[in-house]
Amino acid sequence: MSTSLDSGPPPHAPATALRQRMAELRGPSTAPHPLDARALAALAANPGCKRRALLDGAGVDKAALARALGSPAAFGQSQFAFMRGNAFEARVKADGGTELLGLLGVADPHGALVPDLTAAGPEGRAARTALALREATGAGVWTLLDHPMLALEVAGSPAFLEPDAVVVHPDGRWTVVEIKSFPMVDGSADPSKVGAAARQAAVYVLALERVAALTKDASVDHSVLLVCPKDFSNLPTASAVDVRKQLSVTRRQLARLTRVEEIASALPDGVGFDLESCSSGELASAVGSVPAAYAPECLSACELALHCRERARSAGAVEPLGRAVRGELGGLTAVPEVLSAARGESGDPADPAVAALRRAARLRAEALGAGAPGAQAPVAGTGEETAGAGRGTA
């Protein structure tokens, strides 16, 4: 383990054996799919999912995997939004970032340094970034790092992250800059979009703190600068966003992530995710061999969501009903079991979940009228109505 910033970013570099194992799982001829801060924020949102942790740790392209499985991801940024975001970012950073530095309150933006961060490969760029941060902090002058590269160890594997910019203040403070293309109208923006940007920025702050810990007189701002178009124009405006809460949540969630070597060692022999050499059936069976923790939130955060939802539904699992319902059902883990308990055919009446289900089934029958079709206790189906009723009465 090295503490030198120039020797490569991850001080807890994974063992060569682990890297080889991850390459075997991914397919030796496939380059690892890089993890970005958006993916890390999503990974931290579902720390119990071993499937995602392993696939991300092995650098498998989950979007390509989902396509190969016949369940392509149903989310992502449109090409138009992507191009608009790039154009806005270029405008904000034009002329050496003078407008951006002006938004931070720099009196003489033209005097700021903009070091060249070019280097070979992500490791090289991360080392070059660390050196630039150290030099800028030592020099005590405003410095803009355009697209620096940061590294963070996640579930035993290094992830390389690229914030839009980091600004070094003369007093040694480092501020993360996030440039987004959603509008800020009358000084405020869509809270859900600001929240997502804050979670993403918190991942950058976390990675920067590792570098700052090894840099004399450096500290990382826990407020990030969010830059957005002003009202409905193309003019940039900025707001400081406090990410302390997101930082502590992300730190805690990432620390809890199951380590990938443990997950990999539990896989059956011969399992692999090589998209070039495996058939769709082999990939489905390989994916199925890694335990998942599906929740409806996956639909907006993970490329494999449609595949995992379909598998969870066909297995009769209660997870697709949502975490709240899942929690209230206690030891009842399958929809047929829930329906059977509601009909009074199984289950311990002293179990609060079973009692609530039966009460809900009774109320449902009364509401529908004893003689009306379907007034009997629920029959096998999605189970959502029974579970929803149970939630309301538990």
Residues that bind ligand SF4 (CB under 6 A): 46, 49, 51-52, 292-294, 298, 302, 304-305, 308
- Minimum Å gap between C-beta 49 and ligand SF4 is 3
Count Cβ atoms below 10 Å from residue 168 Cβ, excluding itself: 26
- Minimum Å gap between C-beta 313 and ligand SF4 is 13
**63, 162 contact by CB (below 8 A):** no
Which residue type sits at 328?
E
Nearer to ligand SF4, 70 or 369 (CB): 70
Q: What ranges in 107-157 are assigned the alpha helix state H?
A: 121-139
Which residue type sits at 16?
T
Q: Using alpha carbons, list the distances in angstroms from residue 372 to 31, 69, 366, 385.
A: 61, 43, 10, 17
Nearer to ligand SF4, 68 or 292 (CB): 292
Return phi, psi of residue 266, to 5°: -90, 0
**Beta carbons within 8 Å of 112's beta carbon, 6+ residues apart:** 96, 97, 98, 101, 106, 141, 142, 143, 144
Q: How far apart are CA 182 and CA 85, in angstroms?
A: 9
Nearer to ligand SF4, 125 or 309 (CB): 309
Which residue type sits at 126?
A
**49, 293 contact by CB (below 8 A):** yes
Nearer to ligand SF4, 295 or 341 (CB): 295
Q: Phi-psi category of 338—alpha, beta or left, where left has phi over 0 and alpha has psi -120 to 50?
A: alpha
- Minimum Å gap between C-beta 241 and ligand SF4 is 26
- Minimum Å gap between C-beta 52 and ligand SF4 is 4
- Minimum Å gap between C-beta 304 and ligand SF4 is 4
Nearer to ligand SF4, 166 or 305 (CB): 305
**325, 387 contact by CB (below 8 A):** yes
Q: What ranges in 226-304 are assigned the alpha helix state H?
A: 244-256, 260-265, 280-288
Q: What ranges in 150-257 are assigned the alpha helix state H?
A: 191-212, 244-256
**256, 14 contact by CB (below 8 A):** no
- Minimum Å gap between C-beta 46 and ligand SF4 is 5
- Minimum Å gap between C-beta 303 and ligand SF4 is 7
**295, 319 contact by CB (below 8 A):** yes
- Minimum Å gap between C-beta 73 and ligand SF4 is 9
Nearer to ligand SF4, 55 or 92 (CB): 55
- Minimum Å gap between C-beta 298 and ligand SF4 is 3
Q: How far apart are CA 138 and CA 122, in angstroms?
A: 24
Nearer to ligand SF4, 140 or 291 (CB): 291
SS3 state at 240: strand
Residue 177's H or E segment, with its range, is: strand 173-179
Nearer to ligand SF4, 51 or 93 (CB): 51
Nearer to ligand SF4, 5 or 257 (CB): 257
Nearer to ligand SF4, 209 or 303 (CB): 303
Q: How far apart are CA 388 and CA 130, in angstroms?
A: 52
- Minimum Å gap between C-beta 387 and ligand SF4 is 19
